[in-house]
Amino acid sequence: MSIIRLAIAATAVTALAACSGAGSLNPQSLTQSGQLASQALMLSDSDVRTLSNKSCTQMDSENKIAPASSQYTQRLNKISKQLGDNINGVAVNYKVYMTKDVNAWAMANGCVRVYSGLMDLMNDDEVRGVVGHEMGHVALGHTKKAMQVAYATSAARSMAGASTGVIASLSGSQLGDLTEKFVNAQFSQSQESAADDYSFDMQKKKGYSPAGLVTAFQKLASIDGGRSSMLDSHPSSPARAKHIQDRIASGK
């Protein structure tokens, strides 16, 4: 679960300022930052899905994927049937990465990846809540914005423009840099809250209890620092757990 703290233009300006080490921006830097922001905003839904396909393929090649016979895969298959097989009409592809890290994420192309460390920590209801949250980021357009920011601030920014042809020509290092920035991106608190509500509403609509979201957040809040890469992205887990508890209590 990842979070955008700044608008794309502001992110591009900050990145350029950090690279130059200057205390203020000169007109040339401002022009460059504007070009980066414009370039990122040029990414269409199709561009974002193409980048997501490439990023997901790269991540899959770098991680050990649980086999079909694995208890992790069997658990996720059960959970995926409860969550559904598409996000806004885009087919979802679920897989488990065998790693002790506690994390999960989703991309605009329907790529959903859950880490075995998270599944070890949580029961099926909790995993369903967390994965539903990640799917919410896709459904609500947050992941598209995250990919735009990653594109604007990664090595891919050196490309001349955003088009399927240009994206297809990304080098391995450029793609790797973009993928890392996307997977580790951060969403705003309002985006996180919206994704929480998306997961809550989706589970209620499908006839499942959203209570797993509450205990999932409580478990994330109690993890010893360093074990979970999700902690930096979710600094207010207790408050978010209370929000879900309040919605359950109110029946809304």
Tell me the pLDDT tens digit for each residue of 138-166: 999 999 999 888 888 776 655 544 445 55
- This prediction's pTM: 0.80
Q: How many CB atoms lie within 10 A of CB 227?
A: 13
Residues 63-82, mean pLDDT to the nearest whole number: 98
* pLDDT tens profile 127-140: 999 999 999 999 99
Q: 224 falls in which pLDDT band (50, 70, 90)?
A: low
Residues annotated catalytic, as ranges: 134
Dist. CA 216–CA 201, nearest whole Å: 16
Dist. CA 163–CA 128, nearest whole Å: 35
88 phi and psi, to 5 degrees?
A: 50, 40
Cβ neighbors of 145 (< 8 A, separation 6 or more) are 4, 8
How much is the pLDDT for 186? 85
For residue 93, the cross-strand partners are 111
